[in-house]
Amino acid sequence: MKLLVTLSAIFTILSCSAQNSAQDALPPFQKVSKSSSEWKKELTPFQFQVLRNKGTERAFTGEFNDFKKNGMFVCAACAHPLFSSSTKYDSRSGWPSYYQPAYSNSVEVIRDTSHGMIREEVVCAKCDGHLGHVFEDGPKPTGLRYCINSASLSFVKKDK
């Protein structure tokens, strides 16, 4: 219930602004810092595996892969606004994909050298939860593909 109220408040704030671009920034916010046991109480086991242990879901299995409603995708752990549905596109990768974050301070990108690869990990700027990775093979206008785990996301529908 508390998360639902928080999500509603966030969406109200977001819907009051006109078209948001990644150049716009959210007002300053405090980082969320919790212990593993606190996160385990708040997240499902799978969300914990993805968000806190940098896991991933199997391709084409996530709730938001083929999702087409209008609104805001927020962090499943802390409700921080991450991606607008207006920037979502079908990358055919099997994961929800976006060409830019909702705001310039929605996410942070960190170099990831795990699994014998060099990639760019995407984390929530507020709670450092693992979201997915960003690649340079996306559409215009950014050329980026933010490939994000559905388990890392919650959705707030845009009111008409």
Catalytic positions, please?
147
* Whole-number Å distance between alpha carbons of 12 and 14: 5
Yes or no: say if 149 and 62 are a contact pair by the CB < 8 Å rule.
yes
Separation in Å, CA 146 to CA 2, 18, 28, 87: 28, 23, 23, 10
Yes or no: say if 135 and 109 are a contact pair by the CB < 8 Å rule.
no
